[in-house]
Amino acid sequence: MTPPTSISPRPGLRRRGRIVLSAALAAALGITVASVTTSASAADIPLSQGKPATASSVESAAFPASNAVDGNAGTRWSSTFADPQWLQVDLGSTQTISQVVLNWEAAYASAFTIQTSANGTSWTNISPVTTGQSGVQTLNVTGSGRYVRMNGTTRATPYGYSLWEFQVFGTSTTPTIPTSDTPDFGSNVRIFEPGTAASTIQSAVDSAFNAQLRSPTAQFGGQRHVFLFKPGTYGRVWANVGFYTTIAGLGINPDDVTINGAVNVDSGWNYGDESNATQNFWRSMENLSIVPEGGTNRWAVSQAAPMRRVHIKGNLTLAPSNQDNGQGYSSGGYLADSVVDGVVSSGSQQQWYTRDSRIARWDGGVWNMVYSGVQGAPANAFPNPPHTTLATTPVTREKPYLYVDSAGLYRVFVPAIRRNSAGATWPNTAGTSIPMREFYVAKPGDTAARINQALAQGLNLFFTPGTYTLNDTIRVTRANTVVTGIGFPTLIPSGGVEALNVADVDGVKVSGLTFDAGTTNSPTLMSVGRAGVHTDHAANPISLQDVFFRIGSSVQGKATTTLAVHADDTIIDHIWAWRADHGGAPTGWAVNTGDTGLIVNGDDVLATGLFVEHYQKYEVIWNGNRGKTIFFQNEKPYDVPNQAAWIGPRGNGYAAYKVADAVTDHQLWGGGSYCYFNVNPSVRVDRAFEVPNRAGVQLRSVLTVSLGDVGTIANVVNDTGGAVPNPAGNTTPRKVVAYP
């Protein structure tokens, strides 16, 4: 949003003329009154932007304190209509303060001071009592402190105190964080070259896999393994891929790295569930080519196991090797920006989403196979056979990826936006290459303060594998910032803070991160944009890719909402928000609590590959207009204790996918919701999808399933579709081709 050149008065508030100060008085107070932002000296830097801000009060939730330090002159903080009031910012450490710039709304202070504090309790004035002015006001000051606040004692209007921006400038006493184009990625990352003996590579991947084979702790363990392959051709490597393991190439294109053998995922590995692949989570493969031994590569995975930017020079099967034995289930997966020269066989996969790829042919389909922008995909035929096919994807931006250039320096390539796209982006992927010296390479043990310092320095973030405990929110406030990770780096908030907050700015890219809720309830784990703000980001959207959330894992976590998307035009490309039905720590209805996996308040938001499961109320709430979802997979919470504990606003239980009553335009293609109320099979939910009944809200190819006939979903959409279980049989879906 363009900063306002004039500000409309509130209803009933007459706009005052500009206050005129004598030259002598202005000089004495060190005040400049201007109609445009006044820059600090070249030696000073903005210390306040994106830092934690608090206030004595807020007029409403639409005007939080954080709006005054978000770098966006179209959002503001506003207090209640009383004196006195204050707004303060925490700079993170003691800084030398030289200038404060206040961008007042029409409701300003007729008397205020600027104060600093070392502890947020004892305050020192660093300005005299000052008269405010609607517009931009610059105060040259001298002082130091960790906390800086505007302390308003008298209002100039009947309304509250209201600031578009509160900027603190000074000289940072924090040393600049060093960076490198050849960083140390840590001990969890192994990098191979074409000259590396095949036996060395095989030993490394076997060691990582065998340590977790049928292990009772591996699924929620702390182990993290990344195997990176520099450009070239590699002899026979058979890489079994377990939990928290990534296999990736370091070329600019997938064909720059060729592995002969397999990158293999099968059933029989997971302790206590060896008979199927439904818990093959948290593993990935990207940016390489495979010449599969025997002609077929196996990738039998379920959620949070993406395959991106891969060239299979043969066939690909997505089912486990025991699928013909009446077991061997697999459920849900994601493939994008890839080429399969041969046949893709989905086998026992119940649902699967493939986006912007090229295949020779697709065989199979259980409940719902979904394709958008896939060259060679089957024709749209849902429900028989169960293929939901869109010729193109409305908007895509492929995930950023790490590569090494011809000089041996590391870089991150950020693919460009595509519209109405189909087929893989490579070779010749359009986009931008960023040298690693422009990234802070985070390692386990880094604090939120250190990470925020790197962001304040203007760096992007690259998380290496491991676990990060955060006692404060990571705040991304600069447009086009890249926040990415490899090897499932896991962020755990402590004390109920939000783990990651993205400001309402253009082009931020967040990818490759896992979030575990902490033991103290967090209102949200991650938010994007600002509630109530609708800035147009259509030309350069914020994007989220391969971002996974867990409420319960090795931690008995709690979070009211997992992900809140306020920003318009956001792209949500493959997330799994999961309230755990099992974990390394005990789980249960009153233990790992979570209301909602995803709330979308932004307009024109697109979700491609949306997995949200087991939350206790509405699992997805879509409040924004013109939203689109291509592929949705859901399981209702297993552990509802009884019907009385689960009554929603419109009857029994809560729908999995709720489109708000005020929404006039929304589309979903390819959605499934399952129930398995094993704690109390008498529990029922009245509907899986709840939407306003109007022509502009359209659902295509949606279904419900009662797994093993355990529990009831009474209808698919609103009062349409009929109940599962079907009277005729076990685990037979109900399907709705189109609604309305």
Catalytic positions, written as ranges = 635
3-state secondary structure (DSSP) of residue 245:
strand
* Of residues 182, 263, 179, the one with CA closest to residue 225: 263
Residue pair 349/367 in contact (Cβ under 8 Å)? The answer is no
**H or E element in which residue 208 lies:** helix 198-210
Report the C-alpha gap between 446 and 450 in whole angstroms. Answer: 6
Spatial CA neighbour of 579 closest among 610, 550, 536: 550
- Asked if residues 561 and 524 have their Cβ atoms less than 8 Å apart, the reply is yes
Cβ contacts of 166 within 8 Å, gap of 6 or more: 48, 53, 68, 69, 77, 87, 89, 100, 101, 102, 103, 150
- The pair of structure tokens assigned to 36 is 């445009």
Q: Given the structure tokens 């509630």, which residue do they identify?
A: 531
Instruction: Count CB-CB contacts under 10 A for residue 467.
Output: 17
Are 51 and 475 contacting, i.e. CB atoms less than 8 angstroms apart?
Answer: yes
CA–CA distance, 512 with 517 (Å, rounded to integer) = 17
- The three-state secondary structure class of 225 is strand
| Cβ partners under 8 Å of residue 341, min gap 6 | 311, 312, 313, 314, 360
- Strands 627-635 and 651-652: what pairing? unpaired
- Coil, strand, or helix at residue 379? coil
Rg (Cα) of the chain, in Å, rounded?
Answer: 27
Are 102 and 163 contacting, i.e. CB atoms less than 8 angstroms apart? yes
Biggest CA–CA distance in the chain, Å, is 91
Structure tokens at 467: 């676990």
- β-bridge pairing 283-292 and 245-249: parallel
Cα–Cα distance, 128 to 709 (Å, whole number): 73
How far apart, in whole angstroms, are the C-alpha atoms of residue 394 and residue 449? Answer: 38
- Token pair for 347: 């086998």
Q: Can the peptide bond before residue 400 be classed as cis, meaning omega within 30 degrees of 0?
A: no
Question: Tokens representing 292?
Answer: 């599969």
CA distance 625 to 207: 50
In Å, what is the CA distance from 522 to each residue of 54, 316, 446, 526? 17, 41, 21, 10
Please state whether 604 falls in left (phi above 0), alpha (psi between -120 and 50) or beta. left
Q: What is residue 426's three-state secondary structure?
A: coil
Among 163, 168, 44, which residue's Cα sits nearest to residue 101? 168
Bridge partners, residue 509, by sequence: 482, 543
Say if residues 400 and 508 touch (Cβ distance below 8 Å). no
Assess contact for 642 and 673: CB atoms under 8 A. no
